[in-house]
Every structure is written in C-alpha cells, then in structure tokens.
Amino acid sequence: MTGGAGGRALAMVAAGGLLVGCATVRVHGGVYEVPRKDYRVTPPAGWERIPSDADLAFRQTSLGAGLMVHGTCDGRARGRPLPILARHLRFGLRDVTGLEEAPVTVAGQPGRESRFQARLDGVPVAVRAVTLEGPRCLYDLVAVASPGVAATIRPDVDLFIQSFALSPGPP
C-alpha cells in the first residue's frame, strides 16, 4: 500500500467509509456475489480484493486507488429520498468541495451519483459514489483516489458500476 493520499484512499475503502457489515461472498469466474444482500459485481482487471468492513473492497495498488460496494438491508433508511441517503458517504470527510450529484439508474434500480473532493486525515481525495435503492436493500458503490488519479481510474470505475447486478435473494 502506498502512503499519502493513495494510502489514505485505500484506508477509506478498507474501512468501508463508515459502513459496517459482514457478508458471505461467493466468487465465480471473477464475479463476486453477495447472496444475502441480493447482488453481484465484477471488479475490473488488475484490482485486488482487500479486507474491509464493507461487503467487498478492491485496490489498484500501483495507483493507490480503491473501490468498494456495500449493501444495507436493515430497512431503517427505506423511504427517505436518495439525496438524503447518499449524504452518509461524506461523513467523516472534511472540506468537501466540487460536489456534483445527479440521478442515475444502474441495473434497473434508481440511484444517486455523487462526485466530490474532500480531505481524509488532512490528505486530498476524489470520491465518486453511487447509492442505489433496490427492492430490499440500499447499495453503495464507491471509488476513492487521489485527485490526480481520479481521471485515470474513471474507465475502471465505470466498468465496476456497470457490472453491478441484482441476483436472486437468499432461499
């Protein structure tokens, strides 16, 4: 793991950005499935899975960037507007600037995409996040990198988000 902004970006992903959860994960041909939370996702080539409080987290060590996905299925947040639900991804960050938000649809689910810069432990980071409202769970897909690397990983982040799909729920 690298130091500076890249190391802190990876630490944020590993911590799950204040998200907590422990999910059983199945891997089939590079596709990661979280059956208890009804989803699957495929990390782009070159991204390595790392331990995290989030359901899944991946890093691109050479760039000091991270990706994570987490589902929350406890129902407490259900019914709140997506812009409100997406705010939790900024908790713990300082000096949030350049906030851009827009509605999105991923895997047929309504969502909210957020892009912004902030400081994590005093170091600048760029964040791109998508919060989705599924039939049973809320899902967060997050990419974190130093601002100078954000444009480099954009194609991988696009692939990661596009790979998200709902899967049949638990038996």
Domain ranges of the chain: 4-166
Q: pLDDT tens string for the chain (171 positions)?
A: 344 544 545 555 444 433 444 558 999 999 999 999 999 999 999 999 999 999 999 999 999 899 999 999 876 556 677 777 776 777 777 888 888 999 999 999 999 999 999 988 888 999 999 999 998 899 999 999 999 999 999 999 999 999 999 987 554
Q: Report whether 24 contacts 71 (CB < 8 A).
A: no
- Distance between CA 38 and CA 169 in Å, rounded? 5
The domain covering 4-166 belongs, at the CATH homologous superfamily level, to Mog1/PsbP, alpha/beta/alpha sandwich (3.40.1000.10)
The alpha carbon torsion through 160, 7, 127, 117 (nearest 10 deg) reads: -160
Distance in angstroms between the alpha carbons of the first and the last residue of the chain: 39
Structure tokens at 138: 């809320």
User: Which backbone phi and psi does 88 adopt, to 5 degrees?
Assistant: -60, -20
Buried b or exposed e, range 132-150, using 16+ CB within 10 angstroms: bbbeebbbbbbbbbbeebb
CB atoms inside a 10 Å sphere around CB 97: 9
Tell me the Cα Rg of the chain.
15
- pTM reported for the whole predicted model: 0.82
